[in-house]
Structure 1
């Protein structure tokens, strides 16, 4: 029987991890959510949105073909590790095109096995079966649960520079779409970006528009919730350094600035663009 792609279960983003013993906690990996399907026709690997990327993941497909199963649908994340052993999203695209041997598939759920749909089984049972399927030392690995108290786990995850953690109800069934049975808790990072301008409208919060310091590309806006003294100092600098808008950018109520002002921004770790970002402080380029 030819198995079909299953829309993945997507975790809900929350501010802090849930308490209690009803949850298991895993590292949130910084990669591409993917699904391996193995059936009588061979192995296919799909993206989160259901695109067939088997040709891009040739080595992982070969590894999946060696799993001792007749058929399976495995949910997981494709990652690349950096020198510190952390998943590195920036290196992932390059590895897909030129360094296949650096790709890993971290498996965290099993939706189908040998003709049986497992989605109504409790998560804990699905993961127990999955762990038995994955041999050690291969490029398909099992996502181990993290032992201990949720707050302590998140503290360790944050200090280690990881993107965050995912908490999942032990007894949860697998249901496609966004679910509160799985929660993702992201760690924050503080980075420097070039200030493009400040957007201010009466009665609305002010936002700093930021760009990547290397590429100059717009990466998003950061809420200006700094102290009143910093906000006033920033607005004075912006007016003194007023300049034309970057090419192709049109934003109402924005005071654009000349290059040279660097903002320190707190933002969610592991995102391509700024999310949940706030401007902490700023300085002028030296």
Structure 2
């Protein structure tokens, strides 16, 4: 079940509000002592988040299917995607739904029932936490998220079942502008920079990839080198953008990599203002990176 993005915070009776985490969406399967962690696009992440897998394996449930997000927290207990990629902090599974437990299917049950099941299932287990519930008033919950520096909030209709795909029964409101974009090329390095200067980013409208700007910050030296190695097999003669930017010496890439980018705002000419590179997302498909409505 995927949340639909909305622009403004709101309050609705019968809805609950939770912290929106900045990590990897993960489905966790347990059968006996065997645990499998899968990303949104069904990639096996069991070894990547082995701490989480081992924690789930200790649970007494015979069978279990949980939905949540693998995250890493900074010292202020704010989830940071960069920390998760760097591996500098322990990974934690923030669980927000329980779909199956001990042979029972809870997908058609309302959210409070599923919430009770997940809290009973994970108990007080290291590396496993229930998603953080916020104020019952949606606008107050948003102000709390903004004050604490969280990514945003997710509002959920408490009466709704768990549905496959994207739903308007779960709505997300972001505090910070952060999106995924396709990497369509890079510029040559300048000054003391090595490997490349900036990444050329795009998003789809229909079948066309539109250029939305370039990002040249957020790259430690180690990241520059590892990204450059990933780029080489993807180099191609022609620009993947429908309207290529005029970048002297640009190297064009096949649009197969997705980058997570934070930015201040969209400009009037549909470009990113003050973008910062956070990391690559291998759990997102390039075609999922689409221009927002009105952009």
Alignment correspondent of 2:175: 187
Is 2:17–2:153's contact at 8 Å kept on the other side of the alignment? yes
Separation (CA, whole Å) in 2 of partners of 1:276 and 1:179 = 27
When residues 74 and 282 of structure 1 are mapped into structure 2, their CA distance, relative to the original with a 3 A threshold, is: closer
Separation (CA, whole Å) in 1 of partners of 2:66 and 2:165 = 16
Is 2:25–2:68's contact at 8 Å kept on the other side of the alignment? yes
Residue 212 (str. 1) matches residue 216 (str. 2):
yes
Separation (CA, whole Å) in 2 of partners of 1:180 and 1:130 = 22
Q: How does 1:23-34 map to 2 (within 5 A)?
A: 23-34=15-26
Separation (CA, whole Å) in 2 of partners of 1:26 and 1:272 = 22
Separation (CA, whole Å) in 2 of partners of 1:282 and 1:112 = 43
Alignment correspondent of 1:76: 68
Alignment correspondent of 2:95: 107
When residues 248 and 66 of structure 1 are mapped into structure 2, their CA distance, relative to the original with a 3 A threshold, is: same
| TM-score scaled by length of structure 1 | 0.66
Residue 130 (str. 1) matches residue 118 (str. 2):
yes
Could you report, residue by residue, the CA deviation over 1:91-130 in whole angstroms, capped at 9, with x for unpaired residues?
A: 11222xxx6x701001110000111111000011110121
Alignment correspondent of 2:157: 169
TM-superposed CA distance for 1:208, in Å, is 6.9
Alignment correspondent of 1:158: 146
Query: Cα RMSD between the aligned structures?
Result: 3.4
Unpaired stretches in structure 2, ≥5 consecutive residues: 179-196, 201-210, 225-235, 249-258, 275-295
SS at match of 2:93: strand
When residues 82 and 167 of structure 1 are mapped into structure 2, their CA distance, relative to the original with a 3 A threshold, is: same
Is 2:72–2:83's contact at 8 Å kept on the other side of the alignment? yes
TM-superposed CA distance for 1:276, in Å, is 9.0
Unpaired stretches in structure 1, ≥5 consecutive residues: 1-8, 198-206, 218-246, 258-270
Aligned residues: 219
Separation (CA, whole Å) in 2 of partners of 1:208 and 1:112 = 41
SS at match of 2:141: helix
TM-superposed CA distance for 1:212, in Å, is 2.5
Residue 57 (str. 1) matches residue 49 (str. 2):
yes
Is 1:208–1:279's contact at 8 Å kept on the other side of the alignment? no
Alignment correspondent of 1:243: none
Which range moves more in the overlay, 47-56 or 170-179? 47-56
Separation (CA, whole Å) in 1 of partners of 2:83 and 2:219 = 16
SS at match of 1:56: coil
Q: How does 1:203-242 map to 2 (within 5 A)?
A: 209-215=213-219
Separation (CA, whole Å) in 2 of partners of 1:103 and 1:214 = 22
SS at match of 2:47: helix
Separation (CA, whole Å) in 2 of partners of 1:48 and 1:195 = 28
When residues 15 and 276 of structure 1 are mapped into structure 2, their CA distance, relative to the original with a 3 A threshold, is: farther
When residues 139 and 274 of structure 1 are mapped into structure 2, their CA distance, relative to the original with a 3 A threshold, is: closer
Alignment correspondent of 1:117: 105
SS at match of 1:272: strand
Residue 94 (str. 1) matches residue 86 (str. 2):
yes
